[in-house]
Amino acid sequence: MSSDVRPRYLAGIVRHPLPAVALLQPGRWAFPAAVAFAIGLAVSSVAYALFRIPTWAITVIVLLALLPVGVLKWREDRRRYGTVVMLLSVILITQGLHTVEHIVQWVQYYILMMPARQSTGLVSAANSEWVHFVWNWWVLLVVAVLVRGGMR
């Protein structure tokens, strides 16, 4: 394949100097994402004030508020770039959130000096071996689909 002939799924995105960063940019979904985030924070704040819900529940509420906007962005990515690039976008976002979770755990343990049992991150309910086992297999399967779909 010559350098000027690219598969359909790369046609629009490779013009960006950092194509992966282009996938992470919300584009026209930035304002709806900000509104969804604010709604998630407001709902979780009220739930915390009334019921003293744990940190992981607050995080889940905010993520659930953001999910519809994410789905709309990924549908647009799929229409624009194809399924393979949309999957790359999904894995970049989810792995980025997973990394933030581990950074929070690190800060809790090393900076805030919380005991290991309390350094559970933002979604402590997901801080177990079986969740990481399933997560790692999910990532492996998505990467296999990406490679099979032509991502290199």
Tell whether 69 and 103 lie within a shared domain: no
Which residues, at least 6 apart from 112, have a Cβ–Cβ distance to it below 8 Å? 119
Tell whether 63 and 108 lie within a shared domain: no
pLDDT at residue 22, rounded to an integer: 83
* pLDDT (tens digit per residue) in 67-116: 999 999 999 999 988 899 899 999 999 999 999 999 999 999 999 999 99
* pLDDT (tens digit per residue) in 51-67: 999 999 999 999 999 99
Sorting pLDDT into bands at 50, 70 and 90, what band is 2? very low
Asked whether 81 and 15 are in contact (CB, 8 A), the reply is: no
User: Six-digit token pair at 44?
Assistant: 């979780």
User: Six-digit token pair at 5?
Assistant: 């002939």
How many domains are contained in the chain?
2
Helices (H), 7-82: 19-24, 30-51, 55-81
Tell whether 110 and 137 lie within a shared domain: yes
Domain extent, residue 145, equals: 83-152
Tell whether 89 and 146 lie within a shared domain: yes
Sorting pLDDT into bands at 50, 70 and 90, what band is 8? low
pLDDT at residue 133, rounded to an integer: 93
Residue 146 has pLDDT above 80, yes or no: yes
pLDDT at residue 9, rounded to an integer: 56
Domain membership of residue 2 (yes or no) is: no
| CB contact burial 27-55 (16+ within 10 A = b; e otherwise) | eebeeebeebeeebeeebeeeeeeeeeee
Domain membership of residue 15 (yes or no) is: no
Share of the chain above pLDDT 70, in %: 90
pLDDT at residue 4, rounded to an integer: 47
Selected residue with higher pLDDT from 50 and 11? 50
Q: What three-state secondary structure class fits 57? A: helix
Selected residue with higher pLDDT from 124 and 76? 76
Tell whether 67 and 130 lie within a shared domain: no
Q: What three-state secondary structure class fits 82? A: coil
**This prediction's pTM:** 0.83
